[in-house]
Copies of this chain bind each other. A is one copy, B any other.
Amino acid sequence: MMDYLAEERKKAEFDVEVMKIAWAGSEHAFRTNDRISRLVANDPEFSNHGKMTLTRKDLLKSTLRKSAHAWKIINELRLTEEEATKLRFYVDQPGYTDLHWYMFIPAIKGQGTEEQQKKWLPLAYKMQIIGTYAQTELGHGSNVQGLETTATFDPLTDEFVIHSPTLTSSKWWPGGVGKVSTHAIVYARLISMGKDHGVKGFMVQLRSLKDHSLLPGITAGDIGTKFGNAAYNGMDNGVLQFDHVRIPRDHMMMRLSQITKEGHVLSSSAPKQLQYGTMVYVRKVIVLDASVALSRATCIATRYSAIRRQFGSQGGGPESQVIDYKTQQSRLFPLLASAYAFRFVGEWLNWLYGDVTERLQAGDFSTLPETHACTSGLKSVITTATSYGIDECRKLCGGHGYLCSSGLPDLYAVYVPACNYEGDNVVLLLQVARFLMKTINQLGESEKLPVGTTISYMKRAHQLLHSTSDVHIAEDWLKPSSILQAFEARAMKMSVRCAQNISNSPTPELGFSELSADLIEAAKAHCQLIIVSKFIDKVQKDTTIKSGVKEYLCILCNVYALSTLQKHLGDFLSVECITPQQGALANEQLRHLYRQVRPNAVALVDAFNYTDHFLGSALGRYDGNVYQTLYNEAWKDPLNDSEIPDGYEEYIQPLLKQSFKYSRM
């Protein structure tokens, strides 16, 4: 097999095999990923051939087929839970199993009593029931407290009556509800003795386990086609309505609240904070998924930019490689660096999850506010940047990026919902901002200050507010201390400025609302500081990274930091934590860094170790055989089944033959 990228690979200045392990996080993780991704890639049942042209019915059917096949493989090969999760991940087709394994089962674990867990978990683990998570409603998204579905307790029969009182109370969006799930945890307002006790979760069976028909009183269907050619269209996101559906009392998830036979609602002694553990877990997964999505896109764009040539031909020679253009580098390399940055902050969230879990078990809730703010903010900033970055990679591939065979359109369409689910990105940043404002208001009272590493810079508020950058020449921007100082001062000053402006408002609430656009920018600054500092920590402190690759991670870290600074230069200059001169030096240093990335670019994306199956891109192929692949893929389109298109006789021939009686001129 010809390797069209061989010359590029020779240019690399580090050992790509070592970088693969640094990217994966450990030798073990690398080996597992490698083995499972090849297992999936080599199994024809998991082929994605023709996926982009399937009808929705056939696409859903292919999801069902692949899910059943995955289940078969997982059992046949006796895969561990880790391996099974990776296998579903590399199959890379959203479907009902995502909801079953990552929402339904965790909800039972988190909200069910021991008894309830014993009843439902074994069935769910064996997939004898297939479950989902039904929270959002047609008229209500992020605001759980606004949900309208009711669960009215009837003490006469010891049952709840689940009901959808309005059109807008229809459950809307839950994956799997449309056609597949047999059960759902349904969120509804608990009404007992005429009183509204707020939103609780209830286990409701939706479909017969015998013939899959909907149970009496239940209406369910698919909510229609979604963005993208395949993307989430193989998932049956659904609408779900209840017409006085009765369920037994013990189907309320009772770990945190209970209801007695008489209808008295009791709060559990279990601390409510326990649910935060799940939230940190989910956001860690989202951040790591972002690094995967962005690395896939940058892998495609980088390889194709090395293959593609345009302009710059000297004396009839070949045109220049697109990757050599500074305009291409200045858009592509920051995204490549971001993929690495998000990967490492995801690793850190992994650690944080362990730390929070331990603390919660020990009854230590002191780090929760900071953890909540930092995971909310990172989820928001990183999913927004990733969705932007994927589309930017598509544009960096020129016109061919618009073809589904480039892989990029579907990568984008499947990714963008991450900006809305698990907390709308704007709402999340406002939560971060609230935490920052609260922290600033407590700066005088050190005993009240939240604990945790991401906020510790605020304790140096006085110093940061009066600090100036020590950058005099471009190379000074390579010092981690200079970068951190600038990012800390920016975040600090933006937050303080918001706090001051709020304090000039008639009331804090009015001020917060009026200034919310500024508060969001302050929250972003705080989150970008976290990402930068965790990347610096990784490079400086992680002893598992070998020195041969460490300096290239260092380059990427600097690219991430300085390109972020450049993109948000207005922030840095408006709070005067750097001078225009220092901004220009950062720009100069960035150009130098791009020159260092250039020869290593292909190796840096090879380090992701993605199979051609997982990339799913004619442009991103490992061997760089781009044009032949695009060409071959084109002929597979159903439109090429016949030379003469359907409709020729009715709609083309009459024009050409002027058999319309109308003609112009």
Contact = CB atoms under 8 A, between A and B. Distances in A.
Contact of A60 (B65, B319, B639): B639
Interface string A160-178: 0000000110100100001
A314 to B, nearest CB: 12
Counting chain B CB atoms within 10 Å of each CB, which of A211, A212, A225, A569 scores highest?
A225
A460 interface: no
B122 A665 contact: yes
A310 interface: yes
A638 B57 contact: yes
A651 B239 contact: no
A654 B325 contact: no
Nearest to A138: B627
A52 interface: yes
A474 interface: no
A229 B517 CA distance: 34
Contact of A517 (B56, B212, B232, B326): B326
A416 interface: yes
Contacts of A326: 513-517
Interface stretch (A107-115, A477-485, A576-584): A576-584
Given A420-B398, A636-B224, A651 B167 contact: no
A413 to B, nearest CB: 8
B403 A652 contact: no
Contacts of A658: 126, 128
A74 interface: yes
A516 B327 contact: yes
A126 B664 contact: yes
Contact of A399 (B224, B403, B417): B417
Contact of A224 (B72, B136, B224, B405): B405
Interface string A370-413: 00000000000000000000010011001100111100010011
B138 A224 contact: no
Contact of A639 (B57, B140, B570): B57
B645 A61 contact: yes
B225 A53 contact: yes
Interface string A205-236: 00001011110000001111111110010001
A651 B403 contact: no
Report whether over half of chain A's contact residues are helix, strand or loop; otherwise say mixed. Answer: helix
A596 interface: no
Given A655-B71, A664-B126, A146 B319 contact: yes
A359 B647 CA distance: 46
B643 A213 contact: yes
A656 interface: yes
A547 interface: no
A661 to B, nearest CB: 8
Given A72-B662, A569-B570, A60 B645 contact: yes
Nearest to A519: B327
Contacts of A327: 426, 430, 516-517, 520
A604 interface: no
A277 to B, nearest CB: 23
Given A56-B638, A651-B68, A664-B126, A403 B223 contact: yes
A517 B136 CA distance: 44
A142 interface: yes
A650 interface: yes
Given A227-B229, A327-B517, A634 B239 contact: yes
Contacts of A424: 398
A409 B170 contact: no
B517 A178 contact: no
Contact of A180 (B140, B228, B633, B652): B652
A65 B647 contact: yes
A164 to B, nearest CB: 12
A505 to B, nearest CB: 12
A309 B141 CA distance: 10
Contacts of A584: 574
A628 interface: yes
Contact of A61 (B52, B641, B647): B647
Contact of A640 (B53, B140, B222, B627): B222
Nearest to A417: B402
A664 B84 CA distance: 11
A29 interface: no
Contact of A656 (B128, B399, B656): B128
Nearest to A324: B513
A664 B573 contact: no
Given A75-B660, A128-B658, 14 more contacts: A53-B225, A56-B638, A57-B646, A61-B651, A64-B651, A64-B652, A127-B655, A225-B229, A225-B404, A227-B402, A402-B417, A409-B413, A569-B571, A570-B570
Closest 8 pairs (CB-CB, A-B): A75-B662, A569-B570, A227-B409, A64-B651, A61-B647, A573-B573, A330-B517, A570-B570
30 contacts: A53-B56, A61-B646, A65-B650, A68-B651, A75-B660, A76-B662, A126-B663, A129-B656, A130-B656, A136-B399, A138-B627, A142-B311, A178-B640, A179-B644, A180-B645, A221-B639, A222-B639, A224-B636, A226-B404, A227-B409, A229-B229, A236-B639, A236-B645, A395-B416, A399-B420, A569-B569, A569-B571, A570-B570, A574-B580, A576-B580
Interface of A: 52-53, 55-58, 60-61, 64-65, 67-68, 71-72, 74-76, 122, 125-130, 136, 138-143, 145-146, 167-168, 170, 173, 178-180, 182, 209, 211-214, 221-229, 232, 236, 239, 309-311, 313, 319, 325-327, 330, 391, 394-395, 398-399, 402-405, 409, 412-413, 416-417, 419-421, 424, 426-427, 430, 513-518, 520, 566, 568-576, 580, 583-584, 587, 591, 627-628, 630-631, 633-641, 643-648, 650-656, 658, 660, 662-665
